[in-house]
Homo-oligomer: A and B are copies of this chain.
Amino acid sequence: MRSSLQHPARLVPLAFLIAIAIGTALLLLPIATAGSGGTDFITALFTATSAVCVTGLIVVDTPTYWTPFGQAVILALIQVGGFGIMTGGTLLGVLISRRLGLRTRIVAQAETRTLDLGEVTSVLRLIFVATLVVELTIWAALAARLHWEYGEPLPLAIWNGLFHAISAFNNAGFSTYSDSLVGFADDWLFLGAIMLAVIVGGIGFPVLADLRRRLLHPSKWSVHTKITLLGTGALIVTGTLAVLFYEPVADGTLNPLTFPERLLEALFHSVMTRTAGFNAIDVGALRSETLVVTDVLMFIGGGSAGTAGGIKVSTALVLILAVWAEIRGEADVTAFHRRFSRDVQRQALTLIVLAMIAIALATLHLLSVTTFSLERVLFETVSAFATVGLSTGITGDLPPSAELTLVALMFVGRVGTITVATGLALKRSQRPYRYPEERPIVG
C-alpha cells in the first residue's frame, strides 16, 4: 500500500477507484432511482464508472430511470472525474518534465516550454478558473437558448443548461434528453456552444495554458501545442468529410437533409468523436464504413491532460511522424523544427499497442457472449476505451459479463493511458552490458 502511494502515477487510478466506489454507493440509494427499491449493483457500478470516467455509455435512460437526485450525483461524478483527469494529467506531465530535467537539461528546457507553472496549487487554481469560466459561459448560452427558443420553463432550462454545459466541457456525453441531442439536430447555435465546450475541454490544459500566455505568438507555441492543434483540426475535417461522403447515399442517415443540415450533422458527429459522445444523429443507423472511420477517430481521441479520452492526438502524431520520417529516409523524427527523442517514440508505440490489445480482448469477449456484429461490438469497445460514449444502441442489451468488461475498459481507457505513459517515461533501467547487434529480416 505504501509503495503504491509513493509512486505518483498510481495515485490517479486510486483516486478514480474511490470516486467510482462512492458514486456506486450513492446511485444504489433508493432515492436515486425513479422506480421503487433502488437499482441493482451492476447498473449503479456501470453508471458511476461511466460518469467518473466521463464516458457517457448508459445501460438505462438517464432522464427517466434516475431521479433529479440521481442525475445530480451523475453530474457531480462527471465534474469530479473531469477535473480529476485534467489536474492529474497536468501534474504528472509537470512531474515527468521535472524528473527528466534532472538528467538531461535540454529536454527539460524544451519540456518546460510546454508548461512552466511553478506550483501544484497554481495548476489547480488555473484549471479551476478555466473550468468555471467555460462552464458558466456555456451554461448561460444553453439555458437562454432552451428557455427562449425551445420554451422550456426557466428552472428546467437552467437545470438542462447546467447539465449539458458540465457534460460537454468534461467530454462526458451524458444528457438529460432520452435521444441525446437529436432534438437540436439543425440548431447551429445550440450545437455550436456544445462543440465549443467539448473542444476547449478536450484540447488539454497544457495547450490552453500555452495559448493563454502566447495566443498571438504562434511561432513561440510549444511543439506539443502545435501538433495537438494541427492534429485536432485534421481529425475534425477528416471526420466531417467522411460523414458527408458516406452518409448522404440512399438509405443513409443524411439522405433527407439539405446541405447545410448535412454539414452541421457531419461536423457535430466529427467533433463528438474527440471524445464527447453526444449524438444529434441516430448512431445505430450509420453505415458500416462511417462506423469504421468513427472507430479510428475515437481511438485517437483528444488532447493530452484534458477531459478527452483515447490514446491522444499527440501520441498518434508522434507515431505517424516516425513512419513519415522512415519513408523519407530521415534519421530524426521532426515537426515544426523540433526533433522528438527516441524514447518518446517508443512510449507512443507502446501505448498504442497496449490500447489495441485491451480493445481486442474486450471485443473478442463481447463477440463470444453476444450475437451482435463486429461493427457494433467494435464500436462499443472503442467507445468505452476512448471514453467517448457513442453507441449503436447495444449497451443496454449486454449480459453482465460484457457490462463488467466495459466497466473495466472504461477505467483502463481513462486512467490506464496516463498511468502507463507516466510509468514508461519515469522508468528507465539500463543493463550494465549490451548484447551485440544483429539484424533480423523484416518484411
Contact = CB atoms under 8 A, between A and B. Distances in A.
Interface string A307-351: 000011011011110110111111110100111111011111111
B436 A114 contact: no
A375 interface: yes
Interface stretch (A61-69, A143-151, A271-279, A414-422): A414-422
Contacts of A425: 442
A21 interface: no
Contacts of A332: 431, 434-435
B442 A338 contact: no
Contact of A110 (B93, B97, B111, B437): B437
The binding surface of chain A is classed by DSSP as helix
Contacts of A377: 288
**Stoichiometry, copies per complex:** 2
Contacts of A110: 436-439
Q: Which 9 A-B pairs have the closest CB atoms?
A: A421-B443, A110-B438, A329-B427, A374-B375, A338-B438, A289-B367, A304-B441, A224-B440, A326-B350
A418 B436 contact: no
Given A107-B437, A353-B319, A429 B367 contact: no
A368 interface: yes
A24 interface: no
B441 A305 contact: yes
Nearest to A327: B350
A408 B411 CA distance: 41
Contact of A347 (B317, B326, B346, B418): B326
Contacts of A342: 342
A213 interface: no
